[in-house]
Structures are given as structure tokens and as C-alpha cells.
Amino acid sequence: MCLFQYENDPEPEERVPAGPLYVPVRPGITEVVLRMFRTPLGDRTAVGFTRPDLLAATLGAEQPWIRLSESALRALASPLGACPLTIDPTLTAPAVTPVPARTADVAVRAL
């Protein structure tokens, strides 16, 4: 809990409108699909960013996004089991890179 209260700083538990958000999506066959994430404890969460540069800094410049209001994002995420909404996350795991296939390094020994 914060020791000091400022009238313009809401408590983290309060649901205050975040305004229009930049929401990461992934391409579908005919439309885009909401991209879901996991919290450090493993719960599903929807993610929104208040600025496109914050989204690019966290997820990369190639990450597609759409603009949604907070209420629209909550409405889309709720049926998917992601009630929590994370705004402007900054800490993420590095992108998974595929491991190159190993060539046959086995040396045949002559007996």
C-alpha cells in the first residue's frame, strides 16, 4: 500500500478507464485475433498499451496491433478466461528462438 495519497493517483485495484489502447493481435485467416499473455503467476491476461512506442519497445516493432477501448478489450478477453487486464507491461521474457537442427556430428570409429 502506498504511504502517500494523491488525488490524481488511483489505487492499483481501482478500475479506472485507461482510454484507447494499442492491443497486440496476431493475424487470423480472415481477421485478427486478440493475443493473450500470462502473468508471472501463470494467469491469463489481456494486454494493452497506452502508446505505440511502448508496445514496440516491449513486443517488437513488427508486432501488429489494433486500437480498442478498455471496455471493449475486457469484453473480448472475458470469454477467453482472461479477466485481468495489464496496461503497459515492461518486463517480458526474451523471444524464443528456434534451435538450429544439428548435423550428424557422430564420428565413426574404426575398431
pLDDT in tens, 48-91: 999 999 999 999 999 999 999 998 998 988 888 767 888 998 86
pLDDT in tens, 6-54: 555 555 555 555 679 999 999 888 888 899 988 888 888 999 999 999 9
State the SS3 of 12-66. Answer: CCCCCCCCCEEEEEEECCCCEEECEEECCCCCEEEEEECCHHHHHHHHCCCCCEE
What is the C-alpha separation between 55 and 74, in angstroms, rounded?
18
What pLDDT score does 42 carry? 83
Domain coordinates in residue numbering, the chain = 21-87
What pLDDT score does 29 carry? 85
pTM for this one?
0.65
What is the C-alpha separation between 21 and 97, in angstroms, rounded?
28
What pLDDT score does 80 carry? 80
